[in-house]
Chains A and B, each alone.
Chain A
């Protein structure tokens, strides 16, 4: 009997290609006669487009020029709504909004051409803050600037105050964060009315692009084809934005009759594409004198930028996660995503939860202080347990013991001893040390009835030699999709991992297994792969080509025999709504997610009072994830997510000027280098989830939720200073420390 594949760190499927430089990303692909495409963008945040002027000294007759009027179908990038134009026609609503597209074979000439286009835009007053948007200083979207608002009610918050002996309020903010995948966005397109549109590119969601292009070109589904190339990181930044760049490349290809490639340089990518939604959360929390939560009133606002994109869904996840893994009888959450004249904000790993969880975990440390409890004691007295309900009314059916998780994290990080030691040593040292933690959960899969609506499909096919092909739209972007799908299929069929191949996501060949987002790829789609693989096996057993207990050689023979007799050997599995998961979209109540990952993260920091720089010295991440399919890949997800969370907490600051990102270079937008990350120590627990493949849940986004609050809690422990926003730059910390000193003197 072979070694079990599930739970083994088999090497990455496409590892060899990646370490030899042979993996092919979109910039590595050329087509004969290919043109280079570039985008002319609005320099200002809001205005009326009066004219486009094409300057002298450029051979315009040689250059393909596309504007809004060249769009065959609807001028929009269809996503949840169709409010976002593909190319601005009459108005611009954010800096860097695309207005004109140009293409030519000479990559230098086309850049000269770009510089020679002048947009005449009559400025209009722009909105650059959530408050101005809510105050309706200008109406810039819809009738009231609000993309979406939500409300969650549990119990009766207003009555709950009467039981509260201590009430604590606080306001918390998070800034924009750039995904900063190391491979910039790019697409290649071939398009004509007869054959349709084909795009190849760096992307997470082939079928999102497919849907958007079908609408833009008014073509039927079978005339649109989207192929994913090797993708150098996504993190959500390549969830919705690629539809825009694909549309642009395709329009240029359509008009010129030639293949067109658009690759953004880093400066354009950072300035023009989506970022994490900035947020503001207001907490009002009532507790008893013993620290038992009795009322939570949470107000949560997201800045969505100029168009809706995915803001309602980001809002949804942020809202549902806002009250955390705690038992509180009365909860009210009111939230909204508002329009501003920033470039639209979009998906970034965590998708609303990092924002609301930051606020909650910071706030609960304040509540603990007010009650006179250690932060862990406040958590311990309120952790939710099996049988209790989350804020949205979901009953917890898992035997999760958050207190045990927390104690394990504390033991591994030496939390209590360090806290005691630092408290003793800090007064005599210019380097202040501290420890802090965050306890949290993250729902995997689409919210509520989202998975039902997606109705994802995956297929598994066997060849005549018994090799297995997995067909799904789920993309590999480093997280390990190819590897775990292969493991799951191999395990289901009792074959060697090397027998399985994951087909390149190409809408001409793979079914729609939904987008590669929302921590769903392993848990939801992996399960479909598992059942489709079992479907292949079932077909062989039922046809008596195979018997139970047969080995790999017999399997191969059986496949050959089956195909000779019956044709293709392929099984498909479609997501079917779980009978015991009920979500009410109107009341915003019920079972929000099929499963949650549960976690406690502990951060140790040092603050150098000479420079106010904060360094993360050690980081322990403990999480319960159902089942670990591949330990190296799973740990890699947590480690990478923690590093992004460290960036979110301490380094990554988007500097805006008149609605445009001005630090749009890697020199000035700072992500952690190899010298800036601590040892990141990752531990897993497993409470198998019945509906996950081999019991696995989703983990991709989880680390983004708890990292920043753990760090900022640690900074407070180290310095005594209460920080309520990220990123916490040294400049901001210096002001806060000065303020605290002033306050102490007064």
Chain B
């Protein structure tokens, strides 16, 4: 249904690495990475909450940094290493952050949870002993409507002490 005045749209092939495996994504270059990962790789753990980069539910890791996938055009995933919530556990062995969220009530409705967990995992990678203030700042880009954040903070604090105990 192309109109006479616009160029014929073309899809691009984007090669990247997702959750430890090579992947080729094919879509229009401006398509949101959020949609491509959900639809083409069935990574439905990535959620859309707002489409404007406010809520953080769509968080993924690109080259080790947490980003809002609703704001990344798929073209920019070329050559990038991506991790989503589906790549956080090691098979059936949950990450200590995931275990802590279950044990300490960090998840209620669960829609913000994948993004929250990625943000917490990223914090852990940079800061082995965060204070509650540092946790608040690290999670400030992830909005939660259910928990009032209290048990999310508790979960993250317990995850770190759990990780330490394991070392």
- B71 → chain A, closest Cβ, in Å? 13
Q: How far is the CA of A680 from the CA of B88 in the complex (A)?
A: 30
Q: Does A27 sit within 8 A of B, measured CB to CB?
A: yes
A674 and B142 contact, Cβ closer than 8 Å, known pairs A20-B45, A182-B55, A232-B110: yes
Q: Does A180 sit within 8 A of B, measured CB to CB?
A: yes
- B51 → chain A, closest Cβ, in Å? 6
Of all chain A residues, the one with the shortest Cβ separation from B43 is: A21
Contact check, A19 vs B149: say whether CB atoms are below 8 A apart: no
Contact check, B136 vs A674: say whether CB atoms are below 8 A apart: yes
A266 and B102 contact, Cβ closer than 8 Å, known pairs A17-B110, A233-B111, A640-B148: no
Q: Does A549 sit within 8 A of B, measured CB to CB?
A: no
A636 and B108 contact, Cβ closer than 8 Å, known pairs A19-B117, A182-B57: yes
- B128 → chain A, closest Cβ, in Å? 20
Of all chain A residues, the one with the shortest Cβ separation from B57 is: A182
Contact check, B109 vs A478: say whether CB atoms are below 8 A apart: yes
Fill in one digit per residue for B98-112: 1 if any A CB lies within 8 Å of its CB, else 0. 100111111111111
Contact check, A639 vs B107: say whether CB atoms are below 8 A apart: no
Q: Does A55 sit within 8 A of B, measured CB to CB?
A: no
Residues of A within 8 A of B153 (CB): 674
Contact check, A18 vs B113: say whether CB atoms are below 8 A apart: yes
Of all chain A residues, the one with the shortest Cβ separation from B102 is: A15
- A192 → chain B, closest Cβ, in Å? 27
Contact check, A677 vs B149: say whether CB atoms are below 8 A apart: yes
A11 and B103 contact, Cβ closer than 8 Å, known pairs A20-B45, A184-B49: yes
Near B by CB (< 8 A), chain A positions 141-191 give: 179-184
Of all chain B residues, the one with the shortest Cβ separation from A477 is: B109
Which among A23, A184, A642, A679 is the interface contact of B110 at CB below 8 angstroms? Answer: A23
- A648 → chain B, closest Cβ, in Å? 12
Of all chain B residues, the one with the shortest Cβ separation from A669 is: B54
Residues of A within 8 A of B112 (CB): 182, 232
Q: How far is the CA of A230 from the CA of B137 in the complex (A)?
A: 29
Q: How far is the CA of A145 from the CA of B38 in the complex (A)?
A: 47
Q: How far is the CA of A741 from the CA of B85 in the complex (A)?
A: 54
Q: How far is the CA of A654 from the CA of B38 in the complex (A)?
A: 32
Residues of A within 8 A of B111 (CB): 25, 181-183, 232-233
Contact check, A479 vs B108: say whether CB atoms are below 8 A apart: yes
Which among B55, B88, B117 is the interface contact of A666 at CB below 8 angstroms? Answer: B55
Residues of A within 8 A of B117 (CB): 19
Q: How far is the CA of A435 from the CA of B65 in the complex (A)?
A: 41
Q: Does B12 sit within 8 A of A, measured CB to CB?
A: no
Near B by CB (< 8 A), chain A positions 627-651 give: 632-633, 635-636, 639-644
Of all chain A residues, the one with the shortest Cβ separation from B115 is: A182
Q: How far is the CA of A16 from the CA of B104 in the complex (A)?
A: 13
Residues of A within 8 A of B113 (CB): 18-19, 21
Residues of B within 8 A of A180 (CB): 145
Residues of A within 8 A of B148 (CB): 636, 639-644, 677, 680
Contact check, B47 vs A25: say whether CB atoms are below 8 A apart: yes
A20 and B94 contact, Cβ closer than 8 Å, known pairs A182-B143, A666-B54, A666-B143: yes
Contact check, B105 vs A635: say whether CB atoms are below 8 A apart: yes
Contact check, B108 vs A21: say whether CB atoms are below 8 A apart: no
Of all chain B residues, the one with the shortest Cβ separation from A666 is: B54
Fill in one digit per residue for A93-110: 1 if any B CB lies within 8 Å of its CB, else 0. 000000000000000010
Interface centre among B117, B140, B145, B148 (most CB of A within 10 A): B148
The interface size of chain B toward A, counting residues with CB under 8 Å, comes to 56
Q: How far is the CA of A27 from the CA of B43 in the complex (A)?
A: 12
A21 and B84 contact, Cβ closer than 8 Å, known pairs A233-B111, A632-B151, A635-B105: yes
Grouping DSSP codes into helix (H, G, I), strand (E, B) and loop, the B interface class, with mixed when no group exceeds half, is loop
Which among B1, B46, B108, B142 is the interface contact of A640 at CB below 8 angstroms? Answer: B108
Contact check, B107 vs A15: say whether CB atoms are below 8 A apart: yes
Contact check, B105 vs A20: say whether CB atoms are below 8 A apart: no
Q: How far is the CA of A182 from the CA of B56 in the complex (A)?
A: 10
Near B by CB (< 8 A), chain A positions 656-710 give: 665-667, 671, 673-675, 677, 679-680
Which among A15, A235, A639, A644 is the interface contact of B101 at CB below 8 angstroms? Answer: A15
Q: How far is the CA of A635 from the CA of B45 in the complex (A)?
A: 27
Q: Does A195 sit within 8 A of B, measured CB to CB?
A: no
A27 and B110 contact, Cβ closer than 8 Å, known pairs A21-B84, A639-B147: no
Residues of A within 8 A of B144 (CB): 182, 674
Contact check, A20 vs B98: say whether CB atoms are below 8 A apart: yes
A20 and B85 contact, Cβ closer than 8 Å, known pairs A25-B111, A182-B143: yes
Q: How far is the CA of A614 from the CA of B134 in the complex (A)?
A: 22
- A483 → chain B, closest Cβ, in Å? 10
Q: Does A83 sit within 8 A of B, measured CB to CB?
A: no
- B32 → chain A, closest Cβ, in Å? 12
Contact check, A11 vs B102: say whether CB atoms are below 8 A apart: yes
Of all chain A residues, the one with the shortest Cβ separation from B137 is: A675
Q: How far is the CA of A695 from the CA of B59 in the complex (A)?
A: 42
Q: How far is the CA of A632 from the CA of B64 in the complex (A)?
A: 33
Which among A179, A635, A665 is the interface contact of B50 at CB below 8 angstroms? Answer: A665
Q: Does A24 sit within 8 A of B, measured CB to CB?
A: yes
Of all chain B residues, the one with the shortest Cβ separation from A231 is: B109
Near A by CB (< 8 A), chain B positions 54-95 give: 54-55, 57, 84-86, 88-89, 94
Q: How far is the CA of A4 from the CA of B138 in the complex (A)?
A: 38
Q: Does A57 sit within 8 A of B, measured CB to CB?
A: yes
- B105 → chain A, closest Cβ, in Å? 4
Q: How far is the CA of A642 from the CA of B106 in the complex (A)?
A: 16
Which among B47, B51, B86, B151 is the interface contact of A266 at CB below 8 angstroms? Answer: B51
Contact check, A57 vs B143: say whether CB atoms are below 8 A apart: no
Q: Does A9 sit within 8 A of B, measured CB to CB?
A: yes
Which among B1, B109, B142 is the interface contact of A181 at CB below 8 angstroms? Answer: B109
- B60 → chain A, closest Cβ, in Å? 11
Contact check, A28 vs B104: say whether CB atoms are below 8 A apart: no
Contact check, A675 vs B110: say whether CB atoms are below 8 A apart: no
Q: Does B52 sit within 8 A of A, measured CB to CB?
A: yes
Contact check, B110 vs A643: say whether CB atoms are below 8 A apart: no
Q: Does A332 sit within 8 A of B, measured CB to CB?
A: no
Contact check, A16 vs B145: say whether CB atoms are below 8 A apart: no
Contact check, A233 vs B109: say whether CB atoms are below 8 A apart: yes
Of all chain B residues, the one with the shortest Cβ separation from A630 is: B105
Q: How far is the CA of A679 from the CA of B135 in the complex (A)?
A: 13
Of all chain B residues, the one with the shortest Cβ separation from A9 is: B105
Q: How far is the CA of A665 from the CA of B1 in the complex (A)?
A: 31
Residues of B within 8 A of A184 (CB): 48-49
Q: How far is the CA of A640 from the CA of B110 in the complex (A)?
A: 13
Q: Does B126 sit within 8 A of A, measured CB to CB?
A: no
Q: Does A12 sit within 8 A of B, measured CB to CB?
A: yes
Of all chain A residues, the one with the shortest Cβ separation from B86 is: A21
- Sample of 17 A–B contacts (CB below 8 Å): A17-B110, A18-B107, A19-B101, A19-B102, A21-B113, A22-B45, A24-B44, A27-B47, A59-B1, A182-B49, A182-B112, A230-B110, A265-B51, A639-B149, A643-B145, A677-B149, A680-B150
Please list the 9 inter-chain residue pairs (A to B) with the smallest Cβ-Cβ separation, ordered nearest first. Answer: A21-B45, A478-B109, A232-B111, A18-B110, A478-B108, A643-B148, A639-B148, A21-B85, A666-B54
Residues of A at the B interface (CB closer than 8 Å) are 9, 11-12, 14-25, 27-28, 57-59, 109, 179-184, 230-235, 265-266, 477-480, 632-633, 635-636, 639-644, 665-667, 671, 673-675, 677, 679-680
Question: Knowing that A21-B113, A233-B108 are A-B contacts, what are 4 other residue pairs whose CB atoms are under 8 Å apart, sorted by A's residue number?
Answer: A20-B86, A20-B94, A182-B145, A232-B109
